[in-house]
Amino acid sequence: MPDASLRELDTFVNDSLALIEGLASLEDLREAEASLTGRRSPLATWQRSLGALEPDERRSAGARLQEARRTLEEALARRGEALRDVARREKLDRDALALGDVVVDQVLWPLGVGRAGLVARTQRELEDVFVAMGFQVADGPEVESDWYNFEALNIPPAHPARGMWDTFYVDLGDPETVVLRTHTSPTQIHLMEAAVANASLPIHSVMPGRCYRRDTPDARHLATFHQIEGLVVDRAISFADLAGTIETFTRAYFGADIASRLRPAYFPFTEPSAEFEITCTICRGGGCRTCSGTGWIELGGCGMLDPAVLEAVGIDGDEWSGFAFGFGIDRCAQMRHQIADMRALIDNDVRFLRQV
Ligand code: DAH
């Protein structure tokens, strides 16, 4: 191979190496491969011209050409690896976005966006049971004055019973104390006041809603929880009406094999008062850890309206009598679905939500 041709080969190799370094895509790389080392490349042309050389010259020129080809092929391979690396990383970035879409499409939509949570569903089911028994459903404020939450319910300031409902006090600079309601019982007062104002007695209502207490959440308590209150004000209402209502509700909601019982208790707004218990739904009455071996679980309180409450709202206790009850909606959900720890209701764990 003449010196001029060898210099040309060196220049070709150096130019080619610079070109390969600058390749920006795998497509450009494939084109460069063909034009630098393919059948129509200068290398191939030189290769073909070897035949015209003397055997010695042919051998050394052939070796130079082989070396040049290997150099270019290695450079092309290295550049190809680098370009494929970039392409892989770009694809990963694109796929990461696509994965976001997959989560929304494949995981969230099949769950049904906007589906009611267990507490909301339980509330609706409870309302249905009471509506079927002839009750109306009413609503009340969650932010109350001290008068509605306590005083009108026969719990004067500094009464020891206030300790039963440790609450969040809200300072609005108001002369009257404002609290987040600790139970749904203040809604009784609103309903009775409205019925007096509109001369629309009797009342047969249930009042579900959110309540707040300064409690530390544990397996059976939440600081924000839900109750459903019941109120009947009518003529000649007796304790038997109360017991029958509780028993009918219990069997309708929990099933025919779950019974209710009333145990004497104290609440300032009812007289006599009772705690209302149902057969433990975990052991079906046999006795287990959840019910401390008694076979019964406390659900709420109830009793005959205290004359002091009727008087506070201006209802004539000689003409009207009534009963009230109140119990936890979250507790109902826990009992009916055997939820070991009530905090599952607010954890928003998809594995829990999917089951309900
Ligand atoms: N409000 C009471 C509580 O949260 C429960 C209760 C007891 C409601 C007796 C009533 C009742 O209506 O008559 O502890």
Torsion angles phi and psi, residue 245, rounded to 5: -65, -45
What atom of ligand 1 comes closest to residue 229's alpha carbon?
Answer: 12
* Residues flanking ligand 1, CB < 6 Å: 183, 185, 229, 267, 270, 273, 300-303, 324-326
Give the DSSP H or E segment for 20.
helix 3-21
pLDDT at 107: 60
What atom of ligand 1 comes closest to residue 188's alpha carbon?
Answer: 12
Cα of 185 from ligand 1 centre, angstroms:
6
| DSSP code string of 275-342 | EEEEE-TTTTTS--TTTTTSSEEEEEEEEEEPHHHHHHHT--TTT-EEEEEEEEHHHHHHHHHT-S-T
Report how far apart the first and last C-alpha atoms of the chain are (Å, whole number): 85
Q: Residues of the chain whose pLDDT is less than 50?
A: none
pLDDT at 5: 75
Ligand 1 atom 4 nearest Cα? 183
Cα of 267 from ligand 1 centre, angstroms:
7
CA atoms of 183 and 32, how far apart (whole Å): 80
For 77-109, write each residue's pLDDT tens digit.
Answer: 999 999 999 888 888 887 776 655 655 555 655
pLDDT at 90: 87
pLDDT at 112: 59
Ligand 1 atom 8 nearest Cα? 326
| Tokens standing for residue 167 | 């609450």
Cα of 292 from ligand 1 centre, angstroms:
23
What atom of ligand 1 comes closest to residue 325's alpha carbon?
Answer: 12
Residue ranges covered by each domain of the chain:
3-93, 118-355
What atom of ligand 1 comes closest to residue 301's alpha carbon?
Answer: 7
pLDDT at 19: 95
Helix axes 3-21, 26-37, angle to 10 degrees: 170
* Assigned fold of 118-355: BirA Bifunctional Protein; domain 2 (3.30.930)
For 172-213, write each residue's pLDDT tens digit.
Answer: 777 788 999 999 999 999 999 999 999 999 999 999 999 999
- What is the pTM assigned to this prediction? 0.69
Q: What is the CA radius of gyration of the chain?
A: 41
Ligand 1 atom 13 nearest Cα? 302
